[in-house]
Amino acid sequence: MSLTVNVIFHLVDDNDIDIAVNTKLLQLSGITPDIHTYNNAAKFLQSIQSNQEYYSTKEHVILLDIMMPGMNGFECLDELSKLPEKIKARMKVFMLSSSIDRNDIRRAESYDLVQRVLEKPLDIYLLKKTLEGIYE
């Protein structure tokens, strides 16, 4: 599947193996060739602050791990929620979790930016179907 919209992916995860596997899955699926990786949420947020024009003019899908040291996925979401509307309007966040805790799911889904909580390892078919519903 190729999306009709040019979508840039951002993987935010402290686990290098998860980043490598998810990057490969995205590449093999043909969803997008444009994938950026961050091993912590602070680096991702710094990228947004430094490149606001880039983030406000293109479509961005963020695969955000819930459990990370330093700043976890929920703290990152809190910061993303403070961004200007022109940036938030271009972002679709998918939370990633290796454990499906119902409290985490409910909490994640309470954020407007969050499209869905996905279980690790990433189900690329489920991600594709959700993206098709959003962008097509």
Q: At what angle do helices 16-29 and 124-135 cross, to 10 degrees?
A: 60
Is pLDDT above 70 for 16?
Answer: yes
Domain total in the chain: 1
pLDDT at 5 over 70: no
We report the CATH number of the domain holding residue 40 as: 3.40.50.2300
Tokens of 81: 């929620």
Read off the pLDDT of each residue in 23-29 and give the average, rounded to a whole number.
92
Reported pTM: 0.94
83 assigned to some structural domain: yes
**Coil, strand or helix: which one is 101?**
coil
Q: 99: domain range?
A: 7-135
Beta sheet of 59-65, edge-to-edge order: 35-38, 7-12, 59-65, 91-97, 114-119
Q: Is residue 54 part of a domain?
A: yes
Measuring CA to CA, how many Å separate 134 from each of 7, 36, 56, 93, 127? 11, 21, 18, 12, 11
pLDDT in tens, 116-129: 999 988 999 999 99
> Is 106 contained in some domain?
yes
| Residues 45-100: tens digit of each pLDDT | 999 999 999 999 999 999 999 999 999 999 999 999 999 999 999 999 999 998 77
